[in-house]
Amino acid sequence: MTEQYFVQQRGFHNIYNDDGTIWGFQFKMCTLYYKGLWLSQFRAGDAIVDGVVYPKETLIWNIQGIDYSREEMYDRMDQYWQVADTATVKVPCPGGLKQGYHTVEIQFGWICNYNAALEPDPNGNTLGIMGPYTRMSTAAGSAHPTERRLLLVW
C-alpha cells in the first residue's frame, strides 16, 4: 500500500555490497499519477538528501524488479508503472548515510500520455511537461510533497 506522498516512509536504508561495505542508500517513491504511466513517459531528476544533490545521471531506478538508468527508461514503451506501485531509487554514496533523520527530496516529471510524440527533452528542463515536480509545497497538509523527512535505522 502506498502513502499519499511521492516519497514513501518504507524502504529507506543503506545498500550493501556482497563483502558488507555500504555502496549507497535507497528510498521508495511513487508517481501518484491518476492511472500510472509508461516508463518512456517518466522523466527522472536529481535526488537531494540533506541538501546534497545526487545527479540524475547517477541514480538507479528499480521498477518492477528491474534496474534502469534514466536514459534506459526513455525507450521502454513496453513497461508500465502502475499507479500504486513504488519504485526504488538507488543512490550511489560510498559509506551510505548515518543512522537518524534525513530530508529526502526527488525531482521528476512526465510527458503527458496524450502527446503524439514522446520527446526525451521537450521543454529544456529534462523533467517533461507534467511537472517538474521539484520543491512543490512541503508545508503541513500539502497533498503531495516531493520532500520528506525519513528515519534511517540500519
List, as one string, the DSSP characters of 51-110: TEEE-GGG-EEEETTEEE-HHHHHT-TT-EE-TT--EEEEEE-TT---SEEEEEEEEEEE
Given this model, what pLDDT does residue 113 score?
55
Given this model, what pLDDT does residue 32 score?
72
Taking phi first (over 0 means left), then psi (-120 to 50 degrees means alpha), and beta for anything else, what does residue 57 get? alpha
3-state secondary structure of 146: coil
Q: Provide the whole-model pTM.
A: 0.80
Burial state string for 43-55 with b = 16 or more CB within 10 A and e = fewer than 16 = bbbbbbbeeeebe
pLDDT at 27 over 80: yes
Map out the domains of the chain as residue ranges: 13-152
Residue 20 or residue 128, greater confidence:
20
pLDDT at 47 over 90: yes
Percent helix, strand and coil across the chain, each to the nearest 5: 5, 40, 55
pLDDT at 139 over 80: no
Contact 140, 13 (CB under 8 A): no
In this prediction, residues 64-70 reach a mean pLDDT of 94
Which amino acid is it at 110? Answer: W
Given this model, what pLDDT does residue 153 score?
77
Given this model, what pLDDT does residue 118 score?
47
pLDDT at 141 over 80: no
pLDDT category, 49, cuts 50, 70, 90? very high
